[in-house]
Amino acid sequence: MEDARTPPHCPDCQPGDITVMHVEGGYLIGRVMAHEGPGPWWEYIKSVADRRKAFNAATALAGGDHRAWLHVAGDKYTPLQEAVTS
């Protein structure tokens, strides 16, 4: 459910959701922040070298109140659960 606080870099994400982005050497895990002010609209949490550990950490951080997302490219994100099962 999109609102004015939804960050433009992840249009399906809500503040508090967790994102995972593949980078050279591993994965960055971050938390989506409200689209307020000039940005950035995400908060760095940690880097993880192993894909499975990154996915597990993101899922745990999201808990039951938020969703976890995998960055695909550009502004495209897919629910992490879909990436795990594919």
Answer for the pair 72, 86: CB distance below 8 angstroms, yes or no. Answer: no
User: What's the pTM value of the predicted model, to 2 decimals?
Assistant: 0.84
Mean pLDDT of the chain: 86
Whole-number Å distance between alpha carbons of 21 and 47: 10
The amino acid at 37 = G
Q: What is the pLDDT of residue 6?
A: 59
Q: What digits encode the pLDDT tens for the residues 49-85?
A: 999 999 999 999 999 899 999 999 888 899 998 877 7
Whole-number Å distance between alpha carbons of 45 and 1: 24
Whole-number Å distance between alpha carbons of 51 and 9: 22
Answer for the pair 55, 20: CB distance below 8 angstroms, yes or no. Answer: yes
Whole-number Å distance between alpha carbons of 56 and 53: 5
Residue 86: pLDDT band with limits 50, 70, 90: low
Q: Where are the alpha helices (DSSP H) in 1-86?
A: 51-62, 80-85
